[in-house]
Amino acid sequence: MGGVIREMDNKLKDEILELLWAMREKGSKSFTEVVNRVNDNEASDTLRKMEKSGLVTISNDDVELTEKGEVRSRDLTRRHRLAERLFHDVLEVGMEESEETACEIEHFLSPSVTDSVCSFLGHPPTCPHGNPIPRGECCSKYRNEVKPLVVQLKELDVGSKGRIVFIKPSENSRLERLASMGIVPGSVIKLKQKRPSFVLEIDETALAVDSLIAEEIYVKEQK
């Protein structure tokens, strides 16, 4: 029984740590908001325990991550958002179910498995909800031990089809221009040629883009 209680306690701590990361992205660090959003009778007491164990500091209604809490919170967030990508993009599970499943497995992924998943997915910058995925060591090294499932458009063979998974533009204004052409996540494209420019076919409409844009579009090949 004691082991079950400890496991539940640890899961609640992890849930709070992940929530604190997400709240900080939105500019909030409210103790009251954490308690209300966790929706658990033990949330307030757990936060106090987390302060004693050095994971957070609490001052009035402010909760902030310590260096120790920052490391754990970042890792949990990274695992969760990568897991969402895995279930949503690879297994084509719905958004809600992807979220629920990611919540369960985020506690158990080892660092090496997490990096393998990230490499397999092509080092995605965001989760399916558009939230940024914290970078890992594998992202800076761009390891190639695992063949990526998601690749840059330029890596597709001519004649192949791919579903756009995400776009990582060097300029934010470029997203609007691409969207106006129908080049958005979820669209299925066919690569018609690579030189002198990349020619794509979307819904029987041919579009030409330069190589820089082709490097910013990431796709999952469709058989």
Size of the chain, expressed as the number of residues it contains: 223
Q: How far apart are CA 97 and CA 88, in angstroms?
A: 9
State the CB neighbour count (10 A cutoff) for residue 74.
Answer: 17
Cα distance between residue 119 and residue 177, in whole Å = 29
Superfamily of 150-222 according to CATH:
Ferrous iron transport protein A (FeoA) (2.30.30.90)
Question: What pLDDT shows up at residue 86?
Answer: 84
Domain boundary assignment for the chain: 2-65, 70-141, 150-222
β-sheet bridge partners, residue 190: 161, 201
pLDDT of residue 142: 58
- State the Cα–Cα distance between residues 97 and 70, nearest whole angstrom: 27
The conformation of residue 125, written as its DSSP 8-state character, comes to S
Residue 214: what pLDDT?
A: 84
Summarize pLDDT for 93-136 with one digit per residue, the tens.
777 877 777 877 777 788 888 888 888 888 888 888 889 999 98
Average pLDDT, rounded, for the chain: 83
Q: Please tell me the distance from the alpha carbon of residue 128 to that of residue 164, in angstroms, as a whole number.
A: 12
Identify which of 207, 182, 179, 211 has the alpha carbon closest to the alpha carbon of residue 192: 207
Q: For residue 122, which amino acid is it? A: G
Is the domain defined by 70-141 classed in CATH 2.40.50.180?
no
4-59, pLDDT tens digit by residue? Answer: 345 556 888 888 999 999 999 999 999 999 989 987 788 889 999 999 999 999 99
